[in-house]
Structure 1
């Protein structure tokens, strides 16, 4: 697969996840210029994303949507157009909230990993509430358990266990047979500094290989980037996440 195509598939996996959850929550709005998802009882997805490079009219329309809601909505900007069009966001009162790095890995060889971890897909209300709690501890914001209990064909909300104790979360999104996206992978503070994040990633990669996916994609924070690079992931793009200063 060409690099440019894989970049598009990386971004497509991410926006597909937002859309999938938004539609299940009856909170997804699709348009010609951009889509957005606003869920009142959750801090995620709550995203507005553009289909193409930014222009003044599109940014103005997005700003109008965001000014009509009290929720804090994030606008992702991918530096794939080489146009510096994110300056339009800055000029219209948007500020960068955080940055991530889009990364991908061509799946091939499996990884040696001690079987100290296990993971289980959320299947009921009790597990959904546990996932919400673990995610909140790991990341510091709310993904409502209400979003986890509907049945998703291509999205798995994962609880991670270490010695039978729940220690972390992940979301695996696979709308195609070729690419699997890894999202929301985190370990709670009390279980960190034991190498569990690396173990978990290797287990997910091995499982993805067994399922015959060709590539995996993710969006890394500054804290996680080193681990993913160590495992062979390659950087593809920078993603700036903006919010509107109201």
Structure 2
């Protein structure tokens, strides 16, 4: 694993850990071996189950995947696993030293809990799944997290979250409401986030990109690091 990939995953682990999740769990075999790699599970959105290094030893018995949760790993499952790939994202990185992009006056920082429902609804519309405002509340209280919104005539049209871990600024939940797509909002958000990250004296920007987001990120200079798999239980016939 390269240092840049390690920093990408460390940021993702720190971001998800900042939200509500259950006590860390580990399999009986791992308990006997006193392994430090434990399984973390979100209580609600983003509904993930993961290990800090996003690895998983497929030769060992692990906890069954909880209903409604996705197990996230950088290790591709075999055909004989009880889990299948629900989706995969591309871990990416952008060195910030030479990146030059401008901020936008239409991008605002969310600071008040009363604004969380409208932000969560806009983000839900963008991604096509329900995001509960309560899951975002810990981020408002976390000094490493910043929630951004792109507004059009007072309405939230785009969303993004920046989460800092050491010299890395991770970007999460960059989405645009379907009613506002095709206006360059995602590009404006990302340019604003780069400017924000540089002002925080971070050295790298990391993210996990969907297929739809790849062209924008590659155009901005992001490099591919690895595939990140989101797994769900296999459907038995």
* TM-score under structure 1 length normalisation: 0.82
Report the aligned-residue RMSD: 2.1
Q: Is the 8 A contact 2:157 2:177 kept in 1?
A: yes
CA distance in 2 between counterparts of 1:54 and 1:112 reads 41
CA distance in 2 between counterparts of 1:242 and 1:98 reads 7
Which string of whole-angstrom CA distances, capped at 9 and with x for unpartnered residues, describes residues 102-155 of structure 1? 00000024545473522212421x211111101110001122101222311212
How far apart are residue 213 of structure 1 and its match?
Answer: 0.7
Question: Against the structure 1 CA distance between its residues 157 and 112, is the aligned structure 2 distance closer, same or farther, given a 3 Å change threshold?
Answer: closer
Q: 2:59 aligns with which of 56, 60, 64?
A: 56
Q: Which runs of 5+ in 1 are unaligned?
A: none
Q: Is the 8 A contact 1:148 1:157 kept in 2?
A: no
Partner of 1:238: 227
Partner of 2:92: 103
1:137 matched to 2:125? The reply is yes
Partner of 2:134: 146
Q: Is the 8 A contact 1:181 1:218 kept in 2?
A: yes
CA distance in 1 between counterparts of 2:101 and 2:24 reads 43
Partner of 2:182: 193
Tell me which protein shows more helix as a share of its residues.
Answer: 1
Partner of 1:38: 42
CA distance in 1 between counterparts of 2:223 and 2:213 reads 13
Which string of whole-angstrom CA distances, capped at 9 and with x for unpartnered residues, describes residues 2-42 of structure 1? x811110101111111112135xxx3425433322231xx3
Q: 2:196 aligns with which of 200, 207, 221?
A: 207
* TM-score under structure 2 length normalisation: 0.85
Divergent runs of 4+, >6 A: none
Q: Which runs of 5+ in 2 are unaligned?
A: 27-35
How far apart are residue 239 of structure 1 and its match?
Answer: 1.1
Partner of 2:11: 13
